Amino acid sequence: MIDRSFLFVPGDRSERFDKALSAQAHAVILDLEDAVAPQRKTEARSAVAAWLRTAQARVYVRINPLGTPWHEEDCAVLASPAVRGVMLPKAESAADVARVAARLGEGQDCIPLVETVAGWFEAPALARVPRVRRLAFGSFDFMSDSGIRGDGPQLDAVRSQLVLVSRHAGLLPPVDGVSLAIDDAAQLQADARRSLLWGFGGKLCIHPRQVPVVHAAFAPTEAEVAWARRVVDALAAGPLGAIAVDGKLVDKPVAQLAQSILQEAAAG
């Protein structure tokens, strides 16, 4: 099963690092960029580096973008074996992403954050960079850069393009942006289900309370599992040729969807 939840933790809040791991997120991201004020960047990097030396689990690190005063020293942190990979913000150039990805070691990958209009137009090239395993969408930064005022249907075209670009490049489904709803589980559930329906494979989280809601949203519902079982049972018992389930024709793509739903349900 692919990673569904990516939980950000501010890099200057080292007391939260282990707590983040206990939240059961599929991936934890120690954040040296947006979550850290400029005057605390050096302190945050030192805290992350110190924690990584004795870390009991592997994590991602979001570094500061190329062209900032902190980028080069942030990259040095990536040498730790406790780093699963790097999240690169404001990704706009395949060549720049390749330079960062080239610094990674065995078993590490790069997740470019597409959060500007320039990055969105460059997404097909970003997706082809070696060691890029999947893309992530910085929806609120994208709204700010583009002038689009809304995170719902206003961004449908942007989201669908990232999904199609990822599929065409053979990447895992992309990771959708954060939801600001921390205490509104219903809104977060709706946001995460929208991500799933648009073809995203996971979601960025900003609080541990969001993690179980995201997991539940990406899991097949009871109705979906029941439908998938009816399809599989009908295929196993039915005669050769076309069959129908719930009054609808079952062809090869439908059968594959049913199988994938049951596999996801079995994986938990």
Annotated binding site: 62, 115, 141
Compute the distance between CA of residue 48 and CA of residue 61 in angstroms, rounded to an integer.
Answer: 9
Binding residue positions for substrate: 62, 115
Binding residues for Mg(2+): 115, 141
In 3D space, the residue among 95, 137, 135 whose CA is nearest the CA of residue 117 turns out to be 137
CA distance 108 to 238: 46
